[in-house]
Amino acid sequence: MKKIWKKPILPIASISLASVMFVNAIPETPVQAKLNVQSQVQTKNHLLPLGTPNLQEKRTSMNLAPGVKYTKINRGETSSKDFYTVDVAFVETQKQAKILLGNLKKDGFKNAHIIKETDRAVDDRKKGPLGYIVRIGQYQLEADAAEMKNKLSEKGYSGLRTVYTGEDGEKTTGPWVVNVLEVDQDRFHGHVVPELANDAVAGKETLTQIADRKDAIAGVNAGYFVMGEKDGTPGDLAGIFASKGQLVSEAINGRSTLILSSVEEKANIASVSTSIQATSSDGAVREVDGLNRKPGLIRNCGGVGGDTTTERAKHDFTCKDESELIQYTSVFGEKTESGDGMEVVVNHAGVVAEIRNKRGGDIPSSGSVLAGTGEAAEWLRDHARQGMKIQVKSKIIGDGKQLKLDQTTSIINGGPRLLENGEISINAVEEGFHWEEDPGFYYRFGERRNPRTLAGIKENGNLLLVTIDGRAPGWSVGANFEESAKVMKSLGAVDAINLDGGGSTTMTVGDDRVTRPSDAAGERPIADGILLVE
C-alpha cells in the first residue's frame, strides 16, 4: 500500500501566547481537509471525561489502512475563569508558605496568596497535603505575568514560574485536542515498530523526519531519553529499548514498559527489569552496568552497582557511578564515548581482539566493545586479555517472568502505568515520579496538566496510541496523570501506560504532523518513535 499523502509537511502555525489568550486556527493540511469533508458528530454516549459532561465535543475519523483508524477529538472551550499568574514557590509546609508570603508583603507584593495542594500520587503512603503553592497575580495576558515575574526576580526571588491556571489540574472547561490511532493488528497487514532517530542511539531527530524516512502511515513519539550532554549521551534511551531481537538499552528496573510484537502475540504492558553479565573464559563474572551509553551517568536512575544517589527509579534525575562496565554495539554509532578508563574489542565469536588504554574507539560492525571505568577497568585488565573470551548475556524479567526476546519483539520505555485490568492503577511513586525531597516535582509532572503521549490495549487486543496537546491556552490545556488514565479507559483501554510527553508529544498521519508542538522552538527532536509501516 502506498502512503496516503505525498505532499510537504505543513507545520501547525505557531503563535505567541504572550499577547493573546486564544490560539489561531491552524492551516488546513491534507489530513485536516479530509477530516473536514466528513460528518462531524456530537458524541453523547462516549464523551471524554475531561471537564464537565455538558461540554461540546466533536469527533472526526478516517481510515488510514485496513485495521487502522485515526480520530481527532476537540472538546470544550476556553474558560473565562482561567488566567495567567506567577508561582513564586512550591513548599512542603504551611509554615514555609506563610514565611514566604510575609517576605513578599514586606517587599511590596501585596496580592500574593497561598494555595494548598491536597492531591498526592495514588500510591503515596504519606497522608496530608502534598504541599503549598505561593502564587501572585491574576492576568489575562501572559506578558503581564512575565512582567511580574521579572519584578520578583529583580527583588532576588528565584525558581519563579509563569503558569496558566487552566493547567493546574483543577476544574476547567478546557479546551482539549486529543488525537487517537487505533490499530486492529488482526486486520492491519503492516507492522507497529519502534524506530531510533537516525537509526542509531547517539543523536536525535524529529518524529516527522523519522516517519518520512520510514515512509510511515502514522506514528507517535515513544520513550524517555537523554536531552543534553550533562546527563549522558544525547539521544540515549533513558530506559529499556529492544527491537528486532536486540536489547539496545537497559531498563530502569521495575518501571512499566510497552511490549509490542508483529506476530500472533498482542501488545502488553509489564513492569520490566534487566540483568546483564559478562563472563570471562577464566571464570570471572562482572555485572554489566549498561548498554550503549556514557559511563557514569544514569538518566532516570533505576540501575545497578551502587549508583548514587539511588538505585531506585527517579525521573528526570541523573544518578552517577564512577565504576561502570558498558557494552557498546554498532547500533550506538561509529565510536564509543571518549574518556578515561579502558576498552576491549570483542569479535563476533566473543574473543578479545583488541585492547585500548583509553575510551573513545571505533565500534566494529559485528561484535562489541566493553568499556570500563574505575574498578570495572581493572576487571577488564585482569579478565579480558588478548585472546581470552568474554560472553555477555542479558536477561529481561517482565512482571516476575523471564521475557523471550525474538526478532518480532519490541520493548519501549515509559511510565507510570495508568490502567491495569480495566482499573485505574497509577504507580507514580513506585516508578520514581515523586521526589521525596521535592514534592513539587510530582505536582508539576503528575498533578498539573501537560501534553501527553499514551499507549493502551483494548480488551480485544487493539492497540491505542493517543496524544493530548497541552501548554497551549485557547487550543489545548493538556492532562494530568489521572485525567490521562480516565481518557484511556473511556477510549476502551483495559491496560495503559504514559510515554514521554511534554515537548516530545507528537503524532504524524501520513506526511502531516497533527499535534501542536508545545516547545517555543517548534517540534522537538526525539530519540525514538512508534511507527505504523507496511
Q: Give me the chain's average pLDDT, please.
A: 92
DSSP 305: S
pLDDT band at 34 (very low <50, low <70, confident <90, very high): confident
pLDDT at position 352, please? 98
Mean pLDDT of 73-90: 97
| 305, three cell numbers | 552497582
Is the pLDDT reported for residue 46 higher than 90? no
pLDDT at position 24, please? 40
pLDDT digits (tens, 9 = 90+) for 424-442: 999 999 999 999 999 999 9
Is the pLDDT reported for residue 13 higher than 70? no
For a pLDDT cut of 70, what percent of the chain falls above it?
A: 92
pLDDT at position 311, please? 96
Mean pLDDT of 477-502: 98
> DSSP letters of 107-153?
TT-TTEEEEEE----TT----S-SEEEEEEEEESSHHHHHHHHHHHH
CA–CA gap between residue 311 and residue 332 (Å, rounded): 24
Q: Are 218 and 508 in contact (CB under 8 A)?
A: yes
How many CB atoms sit inside 10 A of residue 43's CB? Answer: 12
Phi, psi of 31 (to 5 degrees): -65, -50
Mean pLDDT of 166-178: 97
End-to-end CA distance of the chain: 7
Is the pLDDT reported for residue 23 higher than 50? no
Show the domains of the chain with their CATH numbers. Answer: 30-79+173-223+414-422+451-533 (no CATH), 84-167 (3.30.70), 268-398 (2.60.120)
pLDDT at position 1, please? 32
pLDDT at position 261, please? 83
Hey, is 443 helix, strand or coil? helix
pLDDT at position 7, please? 30
Cα three-residue angle 410-245-270, rounded to 5 degrees: 35
pLDDT digits (tens, 9 = 90+) for 287-330: 999 999 999 999 999 999 999 999 999 999 999 999 999 999 99
pLDDT band at 264 (very low <50, low <70, confident <90, very high): low
pLDDT band at 408 (very low <50, low <70, confident <90, very high): confident
pLDDT digits (tens, 9 = 90+) for 410-428: 999 999 999 999 999 999 9
Hunting for cell 461540554 — which residue is that? 55
Kindly give, in sequence order, each residue whose CB lies less than 8 Å from that of residue 219, ignoring residues fewer than 6 positions away.
Answer: 207, 210, 211, 507, 508, 529, 530, 531, 532
pLDDT at position 10, please? 32
Where are any strands of DSSP class E within 262-367?
268-280, 285-287, 290-291, 297-301, 313-320, 325-328, 342-346, 352-356
pLDDT band at 15 (very low <50, low <70, confident <90, very high): very low
Is the pLDDT reported for residue 33 higher than 80? no
Q: How many Cα atoms are found within 13 Å in the side-chain-facing hemisphere of 467?
A: 31
Instruction: State how far the alpha carbon of 460 is from the alpha carbons of 180, 266, 501, in Å.
Output: 17, 9, 26
pLDDT digits (tens, 9 = 90+) for 334-388: 999 999 999 999 999 999 999 999 999 999 999 999 999 999 999 999 999 999 9
Q: Which of 513, 534, 454 is nearest to 13 (CA)?
A: 513
pLDDT digits (tens, 9 = 90+) for 179-201: 999 999 899 999 999 999 999 99
Q: Are 221 and 258 in contact (CB under 8 A)?
A: no
pLDDT band at 31 (very low <50, low <70, confident <90, very high): confident
Mean pLDDT of 104-115: 95
Mean pLDDT of 94-111: 96
Is the pLDDT reported for residue 21 higher than 60? no
Question: Kind and range of the H or E element at 211?
Answer: helix 207-213
Hey, is 197 helix, strand or coil? helix
Q: Which of 455, 412, 410, 464 is nearest to 263 (CA)?
A: 410
pLDDT digits (tens, 9 = 90+) for 128-166: 999 999 999 999 999 999 999 999 999 999 999 999 999
pLDDT at position 51, please? 96
> Sign of the C-alpha dihedral, residues 174, 175, 181, 182?
positive
Mean pLDDT of 65-90: 98
